[in-house]
Amino acid sequence: MLPGFFDSMVALITRTSTDLPPDVRAAMASALATEEPSTRAGQALTVIAQNIDQAESCEGPICQDTGMPTFEVKVPLGANQIWMRHQIREAVAEATRLGKLRPNSVDSITGENSGNNLGPGTPIIHFDQWEAPEIEVKLILKGGGCENTNAQYSLPSELDHLGRADRNLEGVRKCILHAVWKAQGKGCSPGAVGVCVGGDRTSGYLHAKEQLFRTLDDTNPDPRLAEIESVVMDEANRLTVGPMGFSGKTSLIGCKIGALNRLPASFFVSVAYDCWAFRRLGVRMDATTGAITSWLYREGSAPSQPMLDPAVVAAGFPRTGREISLEAPISEAQIRSLKVGDVVLISGRMFTGRDAVHAHLMKHEPPVSLQGAVLYHCGPVVSKADGAWKVLAAGPTTSIREEPYQAEILERYGVRVVIGKGGMGPKTLAGLKESGGVYLNAVGGAAQFYARCIERVDDVSLMEFGTPEAMWHLQVRDFPAIVTMDSHGNSLHRDVEDASGRILATLLPRP
């Protein structure tokens, strides 16, 4: 067989998870250059840039959600695809063991995490034959937060703020803008969209995701689609959704559109949204040895150009002097004094809790007292060495999934601070007011940055839910986040969504 194939796949997975490709780095550098450093958007982009450099330098996951591994493989005639599929699966399990991928494969019936990213449908591997003599493997790691913001439209359709989207390219433009507006900060904006016009529901989503294998700076060979891509980039960035939905100048870093033939009765527009942590790489390999002969999307295997001066990375959170320090447990009076826009630095004990923990707490008492506690929506990447747990990556997960539970948990258990990303809805906003709580938005995807704010892991509860879903007891120091929903009924997320919706309504129809 191919003696180097397995190692090549581990190298591809590792680099994809830890080192953003140059086209994405360039897009994020441009976004950073457009924002004032002291604004919320500027601070968020600085943290993102720090995180990108930190991930590359320690070979740690850029984001703790290492996503659904999706491989696109091209092989010459006669290649043994059965053996290669097995080797790719083994490489995914090895990368998981090494902490380069988070265990992300969950049995949909039992909720059990397989622990090694293997299971029915995980990873996704597509094979194609081609006439070239070598093997090509492309990989994209697309996380759940951005996957959940994907959208599929069946035209004609009535869209908020945009009116009717008809079965033409103007309708397509409206659908894409609507999807970007709807995503707000939930998919860790600024993001990129892959779009498919046509196909059926299944092939449409697949083709939309395949568009994400194009580089952000390429030009669509179809001039009609190139025109729409350019228009959408311009208009989406006038929406002022901004980084993390904080409001700002950059909401979208790429728009890539493909088209498939459709049935006469169907007209789907499928939008695959990817976050700023746009992890996509590829390799070409010698078909007789499996050794890597070249990398795709980057120049060789040379180290990446840093995003920032190392001194800026080492300085940590870009402070303005107006930050408010809080030590957990936190009192109601402290919470009531906070308002939307405040930047806080949290120290002390913090508990993680996401989907499984929230569902559990609706029926069971918490394993520890949560009076005055900080609850972090986070599923970290962890490893155990010499009997001690270490957090390798720990950014926030999308909070809106906990909307059905959060208000009740605040009231029942006395939680004072909820940290996550993307914001929450009216039920939680009312609960924060009623119970005296606050919602803090951390910078989504900044998993290396936040891991460095964690001094130690004190304990873990509910491990039966798997490592991402367990309740981790963390000791943190100066963990920075922004108040985006306060205890007085104010929500930055609601305000930005309303303001960007009003702008959306002003975008003129195009002939």
277 is an interface residue for ligand SF4 by CB under 6 A: yes
| Helix, strand, coil distribution of the chain in percent, nearest 5 | 35, 25, 40
- The single residue among 60, 61, 69, 143 that binds ligand SF4, judged by CB under 6 A, is 143
Q: Which conformational region is residue 188 in: left (phi greater than 0), alpha (psi within -120 to 50 degrees), or beta? A: left
Contact 112, 466 (CB under 8 A): yes
- What are the residue ranges of helices labelled H in 184-293? 201-211, 223-236
Q: Report the 10 Å Cβ neighbour count for 213.
A: 17
- The single residue among 60, 423, 445, 468 that binds ligand SF4, judged by CB under 6 A, is 445
| Whole-Å CA distances, 140 to 114, 137, 210, 447 | 21, 10, 9, 18
Query: For ligand SF4, which is the closer residue by CB, 67 or 468?
Result: 67
Q: Which of residues 381-410 bind ligand SF4 (CB under 6 A)?
A: 395, 397
Stretch that binds ligand SF4, among 83-91, 142-150, 432-440, 490-498 (CB under 6 A): 142-150
Query: For ligand SF4, which is the closer residue by CB, 436 or 445?
Result: 445
CB of 380 to ligand SF4, least distance (A): 12
Query: For ligand SF4, which is the closer residue by CB, 165 or 447?
Result: 447
Tell me the β-bridge partners of 196.
258, 270
CB of 124 to ligand SF4, least distance (A): 16
CB half-sphere exposure, 30, CA atoms < 13 A: 15
Q: Shortest CA distance to 329 belongs to which of 370, 376, 378?
A: 370
Stretch that binds ligand SF4, among 23-31, 123-131, 144-152, 229-237 (CB under 6 A): 144-152
CB of 439 to ligand SF4, least distance (A): 17
CB of 71 to ligand SF4, least distance (A): 18
- 46 Cβ contact list (under 8 Å, min separation 6): 32, 37, 308, 312, 318
CB of 104 to ligand SF4, least distance (A): 10
Residue 470's identity, in one-letter code, is A
CB of 122 to ligand SF4, least distance (A): 16
146 is an interface residue for ligand SF4 by CB under 6 A: yes
- The single residue among 145, 245, 258, 282 that binds ligand SF4, judged by CB under 6 A, is 145
| Whole-Å CA distances, 144 to 65, 127, 141, 249, 316 | 7, 24, 10, 25, 27
65 is an interface residue for ligand SF4 by CB under 6 A: yes
CB of 102 to ligand SF4, least distance (A): 10
194 is an interface residue for ligand SF4 by CB under 6 A: no
Site map (CB under 6 A) of ligand SF4, residues 35-64, x = contact: ----------------------------x-
- The single residue among 204, 444, 466, 468 that binds ligand SF4, judged by CB under 6 A, is 444
Measured distance CA(292)–CA(137) in Å, rounded:
10
Contact 382, 466 (CB under 8 A): no
Measured distance CA(170)–CA(163) in Å, rounded:
12
Q: Report the 10 Å Cβ neighbour count for 310.
A: 10
Query: For ligand SF4, which is the closer residue by CB, 47 or 283?
Result: 47
Residue with tokens 């408010």, as numbered in its chain: 324
CB of 374 to ligand SF4, least distance (A): 19
Contact 355, 406 (CB under 8 A): no
Interface with ligand SF4: number of residues (CB under 6 A)? 15
Query: For ligand SF4, which is the closer residue by CB, 172 or 447?
Result: 447
Query: For ligand SF4, which is the closer residue by CB, 68 or 159?
Result: 68
CB half-sphere exposure, 63, CA atoms < 13 A: 29
Query: For ligand SF4, which is the closer residue by CB, 68 or 407?
Result: 68
- What are the residue ranges of helices labelled H in 111-236? 144-147, 169-183, 201-211, 223-236
420 is an interface residue for ligand SF4 by CB under 6 A: no
- The single residue among 275, 373, 378, 417 that binds ligand SF4, judged by CB under 6 A, is 275
CB of 403 to ligand SF4, least distance (A): 17
Stretch that binds ligand SF4, among 16-24, 143-151, 345-353, 379-387 (CB under 6 A): 143-151
Q: In whole angstroms, what separates CA 467 from the centre of its chain?
A: 18
Query: For ligand SF4, which is the closer residue by CB, 71 or 450?
Result: 450
Binding-site ranges for ligand SF4 (CB under 6 A): 63, 65, 67, 143-146, 187-188, 275, 277, 395, 397, 444-445
